[in-house]
Structure 1
Amino acid sequence: MSRMIYDYTKGMLERASLDPIRFSKELRKAANILLPYEIEHLRNWLLYFTSEKPMLKKCLTIVNK
């Protein structure tokens, strides 16, 4: 079940990546819902995903707490 939530979260973040405000809002939601090990996986995925999207780099601080 939790894997489905993680995959859903990644999909939502991909769709929201055009708007940094919406992206950070969705990322905050994910940080509150996901389990600690899932947040670690999400953090690694975000580093890869935002490597070519500098406008989203500042959002990484949400999951680096």
Structure 2
Amino acid sequence: MIDIILGSLLIFAAVVFAALLALFVLLWPLQKKREHDYWCHRQNITHGHDHGNQEPHVV
């Protein structure tokens, strides 16, 4: 009986870990692209909408 419970918990933990890993792998490039779009193309942002973020781009 205990092996069924432990096995279920192990499978549940593996599924949760796989889901979080997949979300991280899929969403990380989108986050990096958003940062790139802001910092590298901020001259396209109208004055006043940049909220004063004028730090230079550092690679």
Using the size of structure 2 for normalisation, the TM-score is 0.34
More helix by share: 1
Which protein shows a greater Rg?
Answer: 2
Using the size of structure 1 for normalisation, the TM-score is 0.31
Structure number with the bigger relative contact order (C-alpha 8 A, sep ≥ 6) is 1
